Structure 1
Amino acid sequence: MLADSRITFIGSGAMGEAMIKGVLAQKLISPKQITASDPIAARREALEGAYGICTAADNAQAVRGASIVVLSVKPQIFEKVTPVLRGQIAPEALVLSIMAGVSLQTIQNGLQHERVVRSMPNTPAQVNMGVTAWIPAAAVTEEQHRQTATLLGALGEQIRVDKEDFIDMQTGLGGSGPGFVFLIIEAMIDAGVQMGFSRGDAQTIALQTVLGSAELMRQTGEHPAELRNKVTSPGGTTAAGIYELEKGGVRTVITNAVLAAYRRSQELGAISQKG
């Protein structure tokens, strides 16, 4: 599927490097089939040393001959790289964007290229434990659909959606979600310290509690309410704690946080399209 591909990364930040690391760890492609473009010499040297891949300082040179081009630059940089890339990417090549808030149409118009996939990973992708939603443009082939699923699978779970608005929804739920989870973990750690644990021990307990709970749900396939009921004894400690959470409106607060992030993603996307 990727054995004969040449992949070029325009931008080699944390997400781009995570994908490089993932595809190489799974032996989906050889290092010499990957080129990463970066303007900073030290960064290029670091990537060459760590992964044995090819690097380039010139974006136009980097994409020539590539069958897959991964756009992993920051959204505000996209307008600066489009004039250089326009007309340099082979018409049959796949362009896979992992830029936040940049629509399919904006990418297609900017590059004058039809075969584009827009995706939205989240930060746990940096440790290959992320979740990425993606949508292909109409011109993308079935083989390129499979290539996209394979590449994004190197970052963790991947979900193909059929409407672009789901990418903004993914931004609210999956993209911003880690920030919400980190805040919850932080609050649990602070509570542990207040009770008397050292901060290190409180962090270990809180982190493993979240990790273990997620893994239990994943392995059992049970609804979270079922698992919660199993650990909530009548008149017990968990019941007392959940009462306080419900009294504080935890469900509404979390729901509103996700919806606020979703709406903000829509706003930023609209600004990007106007620009």
Structure 2
Amino acid sequence: MKIALIGCGNMGRAILSAIITKKVSTPEDISVCEINKDCRELIAKDFAVFTSDNSADVIKRSDIVILAVKPQSLEETMKQISGKFCKGQLVISIIAGKCIVTLQDGLKHNAIVRAMPNTPAQIGCGMTVWTASEAVDGQQMAQTRTILGALGKEIYVSDEDSIDMATAVSGSGPAYVFLFMESLIQAAERLGLPHDKASEMVMQLMIGSIKYVINSDQPLDKLREMVTSPGGTTAAALAVFANGNLTGLVEEAVTAAYNKAKELGG
């Protein structure tokens, strides 16, 4: 695959690394547009790919163009590349909150994939949810799966509203997990555990619990019940969560994220 990236910050660099490491493409067939000179030179050194500060240079060298600029830079970027795409080229956007129609109008191009990766994609453990315009053909759909699959798991959805839902769940979700971990570490420290011990306990707790779920054939509620002895320590803690309406707070938080995603998407 001949692939171009426009914008190569943290997520763009993660995509670049993944498609080379997983042999989705070769450095010779990859082009990167990055306006930051130091970043551009570092990318050329680290990955041996073609680099330029001119987006038109990389578009004409590629079959697939990945838009990875910051949302606030999209309008200016679209002015520079509008109308420069050929029939048969595919654009994959990972720009948060920007809908397909906005991209089609701004780029003067119809074959658009909109994808929502999350932070763990930077280490190949991401969850990317994506959808495509009607102009994207079967081969391009397969190519998209291959590219996004290099970042971890990928799920195709048939409508953009599901992308907004995914943004609220898996896109923003790492921050929810990190907040809970922070809170648990802080609670452990207040009990008297030193920070390094508390952090190690919580890190392994998360790793072990996730692996346990993956390897179990039981639903989450059954697994929770297995840990919770009546009248025991876990039951005491869960009662506090229930009294504070943890489930309701999580639902409220996810709904707020979903509504914000729809607002940003226009």
Answer whether TM exceeds 0.5 for this pair: yes
The question of 1:54 aligning with 2:54 is answered no
- The aligned amino acid for 1:246 is A
Shift of 1:63: 0.7
Shift of 1:41: 1.4
Correspondences of 1:53-202 after superposition (within 5 Å): 53-202=49-198
Alignment equivalent of 1:38, drawn from 28, 34, 38: 34
List, as ranges, runs of 4+ consecutive aligned residues in structure 1 with deviation greater than 4 Å.
none
Change (3 A) 1:137 1:269: same
User: Secondary structure at the residue paired with 1:162?
Assistant: coil
Shift of 1:221: 4.1
- Structure 1 unaligned blocks of 5 or more: 271-275
Deviations 1:214-264 (A, max 9, x none): 121122243111111111112211111111111111111111101110001
Q: TM-score, normalised by structure 1?
A: 0.94
Alpha carbon RMSD of aligned pairs, Å? 1.0
User: Secondary structure at the residue paired with 1:252?
Assistant: helix
Would the aligned equivalents of 1:115 and 1:139 in 2 still touch at CA under 8 Å? yes
Change (3 A) 1:221 1:96: farther
User: Secondary structure at the residue paired with 1:152?
Assistant: helix
Would the aligned equivalents of 2:7 and 2:32 in 1 still touch at CA under 8 Å? yes
Deviations 1:80-131 (A, max 9, x none): 0112212222221110000001110010111110110011111111111111
Alignment equivalent of 2:5, drawn from 2, 9, 21: 9
User: Secondary structure at the residue paired with 2:114?
Assistant: strand
* Residue 205 (structure 1) aligns with: 201
Deviations 1:153-209 (A, max 9, x none): 111111000111011101111111111111100000001111121111111111221
Would the aligned equivalents of 1:107 and 1:116 in 2 still touch at CA under 8 Å? yes
The question of 1:267 aligning with 2:263 is answered yes
User: Secondary structure at the residue paired with 2:127?
Assistant: strand
- The aligned amino acid for 2:180 is I
- Comparing 252-261 and 78-87, the one that deviates more: 78-87
Shift of 1:20: 1.0
Shift of 1:145: 0.5
- The aligned amino acid for 1:114 is N
Would the aligned equivalents of 2:4 and 2:61 in 1 still touch at CA under 8 Å? no
Number of equivalent positions:
266
Would the aligned equivalents of 2:31 and 2:61 in 1 still touch at CA under 8 Å? no
User: Secondary structure at the residue paired with 1:69?
Assistant: strand
* Residue 227 (structure 2) aligns with: 231
User: Secondary structure at the residue paired with 1:133?
Assistant: strand
- The aligned amino acid for 1:68 is I
Would the aligned equivalents of 2:4 and 2:64 in 1 still touch at CA under 8 Å? yes
* Residue 273 (structure 1) aligns with: none
